[in-house]
Amino acid sequence: MSATGWVLFVAALLLAALVGSFTGVVIDRMPYRRDEPDQFGDLWGARTWREVAGGRSRCDACEAPVRSVDNVPVASYLVLRGRCRSCGERIPVVVLLVELAVPTLFALAFWRLGWSWALLPVAVLIPPAVALAVIDLRTLIVPTRIIWPTFFVEVAACALAAGLLGRWDLLVGCAVGLAVFAGPLFAIWFIHPRGMGFGDVRLAVLVGWTTGFYADGSVGGALLLTAVALFLSAVLGVVIGIGALGARGRRAQVPFGPSIVLGAYLTILFAGPILSGFGATATGA
């Protein structure tokens, strides 16, 4: 990679770390526990973006506001050795993991896809996907407030990337991906609504659209790629499900969101080898 390439890469990683830090804020502040389950049986609700963005971060234990010098992504956690400066209470390690996850997932995507406009759709997906996965894992809700704005930004990002690459046909792959990923989940939800939340269907719309972008504009390729992503998500869902039943008991509800985003992300990363196995090509490969 050229010197300019490295400078861009480091700048992008720093940006990803800042975005990762905000992702942690969203995960921490958006869900709130309801006094009683709502009409869908959800124990958790989602605060508005205004409430999430307003105010300063505070320690969960002593409520002391977090000073700006202690709010540097990753570095502050390490300097403070994972403890609040005021009261010494442990800062949840999930904060550090999320701050690290966003730049790491971005760097892996860069390693696989290279510096190209084809990187844009997956880069846009990573922060909200991390937020949705962790929120679903902790609260079993998949906030609409995150999904729909992300979906519209993702549609714009795919259109922008397709335009800049001069490949409007890539959007055909997106549409096929959306249908192949969300269709079966919608059918499952329709037949057995208590088995899976509608949030998972919305999530499938978002990740299906994004996955389809990487099928190089081929309808058959998009069908294959998204089917692989769906299969991978189902396998991961079984694994995470067994883990959740083990940890939370036999009547535990199983979050499917983390499996959906992880299955799609891995499929996007390895779209090249997956599609070449079927004689097709991936976008940008």
- The residue ranges that bind Zn ion (CB under 5 A) are 59, 61-62, 84, 86-87, 89
Nearer to Zn ion, 61 or 80 (CB): 61
Q: How far is the CB of 83 from Zn ion (least distance, A)?
A: 8
Q: How far is the CB of 170 from Zn ion (least distance, A)?
A: 49
DSSP secondary structure, 90-104, as one string = BPPHHHHHHHHHHHH
Q: Going by C-beta distance under 8 Å and a sequence separation of 6 or more, which residues neighbour residue 146?
A: 26, 30, 46, 128, 131, 132, 135
Buried b (16+ CB within 10 A) or exposed e, 1-29: eeeeeeeeeeebbeebbebbbbbbbbbbb
- The 3-state DSSP class for residue 87 equals coil
Q: How far is the CB of 60 from Zn ion (least distance, A)?
A: 7
Nearer to Zn ion, 76 or 210 (CB): 76
Nearer to Zn ion, 86 or 104 (CB): 86
Nearer to Zn ion, 86 or 253 (CB): 86
Nearer to Zn ion, 62 or 78 (CB): 62
d(CA 30, CA 56): 14
Question: The tokens of 226 are what?
Answer: 């998204």
Q: How far is the CB of 278 from Zn ion (least distance, A)?
A: 54
In degrees, to the nearest 5, what angle opens at C-alpha 275 toward C-alphas 269 and 281? 95
Q: How far is the CB of 76 from Zn ion (least distance, A)?
A: 14
Q: How far is the CB of 91 from Zn ion (least distance, A)?
A: 9
| Among 258, 11, 218, 27, CA closest to 110 | 11
Look up residue 76 and give its amino acid. Answer: S
Nearer to Zn ion, 59 or 230 (CB): 59
DSSP at 59: -
